[in-house]
Amino acid sequence: MAKFKEAPAGAPAAQKLLNWIDNRFPLSELYNEHVGQYYAPKNFNFWYVFGSLALVVLVIQIVTGIFLVMHYKPDANLAFASVEYIMRDVPWGWLIRYMHSTGASAFFIVVYLHMYRGLLYGSYRKPRELVWIFGCAIFLCLMAEAFFGYLLPWGQMSYWGAQVIVNLFAAVPFIGPDLALLIRGDFVVSDATLNRFFSFHVIAIPLVLIGLVVAHIIALHEVGSNNPDGVEIKETPGPNGHPLDGIPFHPYYTVHDIYALSVFLILFTAVIFFAPEFGGYFLEYNNFIPADPLKTPPHIAPVWYFTPFYSMLRATTDQMVNVLCIVVALGAVLAVLKGGFGAKGKLAALVGALVAVFLLKTFDAKFWGVVVMGGAVVILFFLPWLDRSPVKSIRYRPQWHTYLYGVFVVYFLVLGYLGIQPPSDVGTLVAQVGTLFYFGFFLLMPWWSRIGTFKPVPQRVVYAAH
φ, ψ dihedrals at 77, nearest 5°: -85, -15
> Among 395, 397, 382, which Cα is nearest to 441's?
382
Q: Which residues are annotated as a binding site for a ubiquinone?
A: 221
Binding site as annotated, residues: 100, 114, 201, 216, 221
Burial 42-79 (b: 16+ CB within 10 A, else e): bbbeebbbbbbbbebbbebbeebbebbeeebbbebeeb
What lies within 8 Å, CB to CB, of 355 at 6+ separation is none
Binding residues for heme b: 100, 114, 201, 216
What three-state secondary structure class fits 122? coil
Question: Does an H or E element contain 247, and which?
Answer: strand 246-248
Phi, psi values for residue 171, rounded to 5°: -80, -10
Distances (CA, A) of 253 to 261, 265, 307, 328, 462: 12, 18, 34, 49, 18
CA angle 245, 249, 255 (to 5 degrees): 115
Distance CA(91)–CA(213), nearest Å, equals 32
Per the rule left: phi > 0, alpha: psi between -120 and 50, beta: everything else, 90 is beta
Q: Nearest CA to 404 among 364, 369, 435, 448? A: 448
Q: Which of 161, 160, 180 is nearest to 170 (CA)?
A: 180
| Amino acid residing at 306 | F
Residues 260 and 49 sit within 8 Å (Cβ to Cβ): yes
Q: Where are the alpha helices (DSSP H) in 185-295?
A: 191-199, 205-223, 254-274
Q: How far apart are CA 413 and CA 415, in angstroms?
A: 5
